Structure 1
Amino acid sequence: MSDCFQRNAEVLQRRWPTLFTRLLAEDSQSIRAEQVTGKGATLSIDGIQLTSRHDRFAEARLQAASLPLASSIAHVYGTGLGDVQRVLLERSDLNRLQVHILNGALFKLILEQFDQVDWLSEPRVELSYAVDDREIRLPFFALPSELELADELNAKIRDRLVSEVHLNFNNREFNPQSPQILKRLKASLQLLRSDRNVTELFGSQAGREIYVIGTGPSLEQQFEKLKVIRAQSPRPLFISVDTAYRPLMEQGIKPDMVVSIDQRITALHLPSEQSDKIPLVYMPLSNPKVLRAWKGWRYASYSASPIYRNMREKNDRGELYVGGSVIHPAVDLAVKMGAAQITLFGADFAFPMNKTHASWKDGELGPGVNLARHWVLDGRGQRVKTQLNFRRYLSELERYIAKHPQVSFFNSSREGAMIAGTRFNPEFTQ
């Protein structure tokens, strides 16, 4: 044990004995780190610099400035080399600084090589693993390097941090004053006024089991079982998202209803030829040409987005939850219809089997597999490739599930992302 680690350890053992025991079990030797120098020096882990190598404290002051000066509490995700913590502790109005560890092995390595006694000894500091909280805490600053270096244990909190950091960027295309959005809403207005209200469906399936079917690659593994179940009576209700509709129909599996919200959905995704007697639940951004061609009943709905504010004031329609993906309103519809149990199909939020979507060619519904630069843990605890927005959709679904404990949520596959709050349906998984 190095002298440096011994000094840090004495503080940790005194203040956070349980956390210190966890840290001792971390494998710091698994971290491939090297020192990189410029005007100063820092550590590089797998090519990712932990901090600036020129002026660590100038960088830390810039990062700390993103937190409001008047706040009595601040949260820092990632430990870095302690620079942001030291800068924040200069604030006299700060009563508590909560530091959340995103990579235990990395933090142990830092303790072995760098003296952290000063900020660890500060009475205002509290230290914990990020995973010990189910949700992120505000206001926060997350060290960019450690958002990349977060370990498997803390991956879900990392995903929520990234989602929060990118929130304004992700919402940029939903500007209520956007000419494209205003044009689409105007084009959809007549349909909205003449179509049914989604609230007519609410409470209509009280106590029933409902299958919510997404388009993740794992859906292909369930086609045969879904076909058999579809022919049974009684059976669960089948709710399909728009991009899963065509693959299901091609397999002879007719969904009971379809949900669509994306303005980019076309007749390629929702062919109308066999749509009679299939209700379509939509939002006003949906393509009017696709809506008019649909032969089944149409049910209009809104999300909480401000883009619908003016339309909502004059045309009352029910609301469905949207968290970035069509899977969210499909699940919310199932809950509001009265489902007691929901099983998710194709809700992978990842690219298992090196595919992006079931029955669609690579790249047809978005970036191809070769562009995936991120990961989530699958149902077996292994890393599986994904893209950044999929991680955000996953986080939002998990938040939704946590708010609806009265419903039992199941997943039909271990191939895609592990979804917190769900269990694996034994009828479809080993």
Structure 2
Amino acid sequence: MAQTSLLDSQLSIIKSRWPKLAQQLNQFTIDDIHAQLKVELTQGLEQTISINGIQLSSRHDRYQEAAAWCQGINEACPHVDCYGIGMGDTPWYLLTVKKVAALTLHCLNLKLLKLLLTYTDQREWLTHPNLELVSAPARPSLGVHWLACTADLRFCDPHYYYQRDIFWHEKNLSYANSRHESNRALHLQRFEENRHYWQYDPDALLLAAKLPPHRRVLILASGPSLEEHFTWLEQVSALPQAQKPLIIALDTALKGLVNYQITIDIVVSIDELITPETAQVTKLKPRNDFAHNMALATEFELTPIALIQITPATNHLFPALVYFPRSRPDLLAAWPGPRYAAYSDHPLYDELEQQTPHCRLYANGSVIHPAVDLALNIGASNMYLLGADFGFMDGKTHAAWEDGSLGIKHHHAKHQLINGHGENIATTLNFISYLRALELLISKHPRCKFNRLSQRGAAITGCDYQAPDKLLLNWQQA
């Protein structure tokens, strides 16, 4: 059968069953698709199609590959969601071999489907009564029983980005858990080394006393967009106390912040690798009445930290540190301000909680999670995220840090996410996982209004954009 008649025949089936999908497919011509994508026929023991160098299936044994994809699906399963089509072998296998009762087949990229219908015969599964073919997700979750053709994930349309990211997160979870388990011995050692801290330091929830009556909290993450707002943050810091939000900074954000007159109320640090140098301990400035205290320090030829050693009661002038017991002992010892203990929600902390109760904060790989959860737990009703970018901007991932200083280098980034402008920005699987975990946390707290203050960073579901200048004006007029 000629290519045109084969395509027409299969489009006719789709038009009769899913007319809206047929209209979407007719938006693309095969010539346009070839102009946009590098399409090649790849030969092995069998044939497959390669798109931009990525094979849509095995070129040696496509049946066996489909069987491998579907091995976790029981025969006669009541419903399966399959993300991606590949070369069509996987939906065929699910319907004819596994005999699933209902299959929702998600077309992640309409151009790939049109290519497939142009060059290959897919009518056996296209006509199957148990099939539902869709081009947009009906819900954010992947479904109860699901699988994915991983090649298609590389080309998915934007409305499937969330499902794609959840899939990568699920596939990466066992590796992440194994890394956490490999650090278990170190964490247990740290628990003992820090026992005299977490047993006697106050609980982090006592910081609720710092929350202003308006219950606004500004979270300063360490993404590159933070650099664009240092002057704005100085203006926020200059607000009268009644108008100012509570400011919580992540440890890795401090490198840029310490060079400006920015008041930080709380710093959150949970990672076992964060050193006093990373947290800029020797460069921290007093929280309140900066000029007075610096003049006093100058008069006695003392640094602010040396001043603390003489007048310990003034340590409230420095930011409070909220930490997990796995933190480095030298960081806890060097911190000039008050310390507050908290535990991760990981089971490893259960025994510590039995010995000395402390609040449990949500942690899923990034310090932003416990920082946000802390703000929620102490009563925030409006939260503003700045520097929560979750990707590469201007060739780096962290404000004031060189590319690769705190993670992989820009040229190693192989994934993308959508920013507030609707543009793709480079990112990593880890950052994608952190973003989706944050979105999950946000979804569980509908009573708190979440806002992000930059459009260049990740678009965060459940988090509306607020223009910083307009927001500052509102605060000044409050």
| TM-score interval for Structure 1 and Structure 2 normalised by the shorter chain | over 0.9
333-342 or 171-180: which moved more? 171-180
**Is contact 1:77-1:130 (8 Å) kept?**
no
**Is contact 2:74-2:98 (8 Å) kept?**
no
Residue 15 of structure 1, CA deviation: 2.3
Find the partner of 1:324 among 326, 351, 365: 365
342-351 or 286-295: which moved more? 286-295
Tell whether 2:155 aligns with 1:149. Answer: yes
Residue 215 of structure 1, CA deviation: 0.7
Q: Which residue number in structure 2 is paired with residue 23 of structure 1?
A: 25
Tell whether 2:172 aligns with 1:166. Answer: yes
Q: Which residue number in structure 1 is paired with residue 270 of structure 2?
A: 261
Task: Give, in whole Å, the separation in 2 of the partners of 1:204 and 1:186.
Answer: 30
Task: Give, in whole Å, the separation in 2 of the partners of 1:181 and 1:368.
Answer: 27
Tell me the percent identity: 35
Q: Which stretches in structure 2 are left out of the alignment for 5+ residues? A: 287-314, 472-478
**Is contact 1:197-1:317 (8 Å) kept?**
yes
Task: Give, in whole Å, the separation in 2 of the partners of 1:10 and 1:315.
Answer: 68
Residue 232 of structure 1, CA deviation: 0.5
Quickly say closer, same or farther: Cα 1:97–1:202, change in 2 above 3 A: farther
Find the partner of 2:327 among 266, 275, 286: 286
Q: Number of matched residues?
A: 430
Task: Give, in whole Å, the separation in 2 of the partners of 1:138 and 1:207.
Answer: 42
Q: Which residue number in structure 1 is paired with residue 289 of structure 2?
A: none
CA RMSD of aligned residues (A): 2.2
Residue 27 of structure 1, CA deviation: 6.0
Quickly say closer, same or farther: Cα 1:177–1:341, change in 2 above 3 A: closer
Task: Give, in whole Å, the separation in 2 of the partners of 1:23 and 1:81.
Answer: 17
Residue 339 of structure 1, CA deviation: 1.7
1:378-430: CA deviation from partner (whole Å, max 9, x where unpaired): 22112111122111111111222222222221111111121122221123599
Partner-residue secondary structure (3-state), 2:344 = coil
1:136-187: CA deviation from partner (whole Å, max 9, x where unpaired): 2232211121122223332222111111111111121222883222212222
1:329-368: CA deviation from partner (whole Å, max 9, x where unpaired): 1111122222221111111111112222111122211112
Residue 129 of structure 1, CA deviation: 2.7
141-150 or 70-79: which moved more? 70-79
Partner-residue secondary structure (3-state), 1:352 = coil
179-188 or 162-171: which moved more? 179-188
Q: Which residue number in structure 2 is paired with residue 175 of structure 1?
A: 181
Task: Give, in whole Å, the separation in 2 of the partners of 1:225 and 1:27.
Answer: 49
Task: Give, in whole Å, the separation in 2 of the partners of 1:202 and 1:11.
Answer: 62
Tell whether 2:340 aligns with 1:299. Answer: yes
Matches within 5 A, 1:78-117: 78-91=84-97, 94-117=100-123
Q: What is the identity, as a one-letter code, of the residue corresponding to 1:213?
A: L
Q: What is the identity, as a one-letter code, of the residue corresponding to 1:195?
A: D
Quickly say closer, same or farther: Cα 1:23–1:44, change in 2 above 3 A: same
Partner-residue secondary structure (3-state), 1:35 = strand
Q: Which residue number in structure 2 is paired with residue 133 of structure 1?
A: 139
Partner-residue secondary structure (3-state), 2:468 = coil
**Is contact 2:42-2:59 (8 Å) kept?**
yes
Quickly say closer, same or farther: Cα 1:354–1:124, change in 2 above 3 A: same
Matches within 5 A, 1:69-80: 71-80=77-86
Partner-residue secondary structure (3-state), 2:96 = coil
Q: Which residue number in structure 2 is paired with residue 216 of structure 1?
A: 223
**Is contact 2:76-2:101 (8 Å) kept?**
no
Task: Give, in whole Å, the separation in 2 of the partners of 1:195 and 1:245.
Answer: 23
Q: Which stretches in structure 1 are left out of the alignment for 5+ residues? A: none
1:213-264: CA deviation from partner (whole Å, max 9, x where unpaired): 1111110000000101111012111110010123212222131101111111
Partner-residue secondary structure (3-state), 1:175 = helix
1:180-218: CA deviation from partner (whole Å, max 9, x where unpaired): 222122222331111111232358636422111111111
Partner-residue secondary structure (3-state), 1:324 = coil
Task: Give, in whole Å, the separation in 2 of the partners of 1:93 and 1:119.
Answer: 11
Task: Give, in whole Å, the separation in 2 of the partners of 1:22 and 1:315.
Answer: 60
Task: Give, in whole Å, the separation in 1 of the partners of 2:370 and 2:25.
Answer: 41
Task: Give, in whole Å, the separation in 2 of the partners of 1:27 and 1:257.
Answer: 56
TM-score (norm 1): 0.93
Quickly say closer, same or farther: Cα 1:71–1:281, change in 2 above 3 A: farther
Quickly say closer, same or farther: Cα 1:22–1:315, change in 2 above 3 A: farther
Find the partner of 1:13 among 9, 12, 15: 15
Quickly say closer, same or farther: Cα 1:4–1:207, change in 2 above 3 A: farther
Task: Give, in whole Å, the separation in 2 of the partners of 1:163 and 1:428.
Answer: 36
Task: Give, in whole Å, the separation in 2 of the partners of 1:350 and 1:166.
Answer: 18
Tell whether 2:229 aligns with 1:227. Answer: no
